[in-house]
Amino acid sequence: MEQEMSVKGRKVIVTGGAGFFGSYITEELEREGAVVFVPRSRDYNLVERAAVIRLIQEQSPDFIIHAAGTVGGIGANRENPGRFLYENLMMGAQLIEESRRLGVKKLVVIGTICSYPKYAAVPFREDDLWSGYPEETNAPYGLAKKLLLVQSQAYRDQYGFNSICLLPVNLYGPRDNFDLNTSHVIPAMIRKCVEAKENGDREIVCWGDGSPTREFLFAGDAAKGVVLALKRYERSEPVNLGTCQEISIRDLVNKVAYFTGFEGAVKWDVTKPNGQPRRCVDTTKAFLQFGFRAGTSLDAGLRQTVEWYLGSRVLK
C-alpha cells in the first residue's frame, strides 16, 4: 500500500459532483477537509476543449476526480450509442490532456464495469479487461471509458503524469436517478414496485428473463473507495471497486418487492435484452493497494434507497 497523502485543505474539482455518485464523492472529500469545486454543465461543457482549459485555469486545482459521464441503462445505451461514445470519450480525453498540460497533480478517472468483455471469466479480474469485446448494448460507452485507461497509462509512461483509473460495479443508493427512461436496474425496479403497489396493479414487467447476474455497490461505499484511492494509489493499472458478491436479476426483483411491500407477480419481457450474462468483480487489488472494502450489505442499501425514494416523493 502506498504512503497516504492528505487532502485536507487541497483544492479538488469533482466533475459530475452535482450528480448522483459525484455528490457522494463531494461529501466524502468535504469530510476529509478538502476544498471542493463542482463545475456545472451550464458553465463548463466538458465536451469542449476550451471549457476544460478554462475550468482548470480558473480553479487551479491540486486534484481532479472525473465522475461526470453520459450514462443510462440498457435502453438508453441502445438509443444513444454514438452520443455515449463521443461525449464520454471527449470529456475524459480532454481532461487528462489539459490536466497534464496545466500541472494538475493527480487525476482520478471513474471508469465502468461495462468495459469488461461480455464473456469475461467470473469474478472479473483487472488483467482480463482486454480478453474480449464488451457486451454489445453498452460497448460504445464501455470502450470510450476503456480508452481513457490507455491514455492514463500512456501519459504516465511518456510524461510521468499521475492519473489512476477505477472500475466500479453498478452503483445505487439514495438520490439515484429514478427516471424509467434512463435509470439503472435498482431504481427502475423500486419505482415500478412502488407505483404498482399504489395503483393496485397485480404485476410489473421487467426486461429479459431474469437470469443475468449483477454486482451492486452502495454509492457511499464507492465514494470512500475513490477518496482512499486518491490518497493512497499511485499507479495507472485499473482497480475494481465492488463487493465480490453477485445476485441474479430475478432474485434482486424479489428483494426489491419485499422492501417496497409489492406482493404482485413479475412478468419477464423476453423480447428485451438481458445485457451481459454475469457481472462480479475480484476486489482483492483494491484492498491490497489502498485498503478498500465495502461496508454496506445489499439488504441494508436497498432498505435505505427505498426509504429515501418514498420520502422524496412525499416531499414533492
DSSP 92: H
CATH superfamily to which 11-176+216-244+277-296 belongs: NAD(P)-binding Rossmann-like Domain (3.40.50.720)
**What average pLDDT does this structure show over 83-88?**
95
C-alpha cell at 42: 451550464
Percent of the chain exceeding pLDDT 90 equals 88
189-217 mean pLDDT: 95
Q: Over the chain, what is the mean pLDDT?
A: 94
Mean of pLDDT values over 134-161: 95
Rounded CA-CA distance 274/159 in Å is 42
- pLDDT value of residue 151: 98
Amino acid at 301: G
State mean pLDDT over 66-76.
81
**What are the distances in angstroms from CA 172 to CA 78, 79, 146, 219, 297?**
21, 22, 22, 6, 12
CA-nearest of 305, 314, 221 to 259 is 305
The set of cell numbers assigned to 139 is: 460497448
8 A C-beta contact, residue 253 and residue 272: no
Task: Give me the residue spans of the domains in the chain.
Answer: 11-176+216-244+277-296
> In the numeric block, which cell numbers belong to residue 271?
423480447
Over range 53-66, report the average pLDDT. Answer: 98
pLDDT for res 182: 79
Q: What is the pLDDT of residue 1?
A: 61
Distance CA 42, CA 48 (A): 12
| Confidence at 79, pLDDT banded by 50, 70, 90 | confident
Contact 295, 287 (CB under 8 A): no
Q: Is the pLDDT of residue 36 over 90?
A: yes
Question: Quick one: cell of 57?
Answer: 485555469
Catalytic residue IDs? 141
Q: What is the mean pLDDT of residues 122-127?
A: 96
Q: Tell me, what's the pLDDT at 2?
A: 62
pLDDT at 150 over 80: yes
Nearest to 38 by CA among 62, 19, 13: 13
Q: What is the pLDDT of residue 138?
A: 87
Confidence of residue 314 (pLDDT cuts 50, 70, 90): low
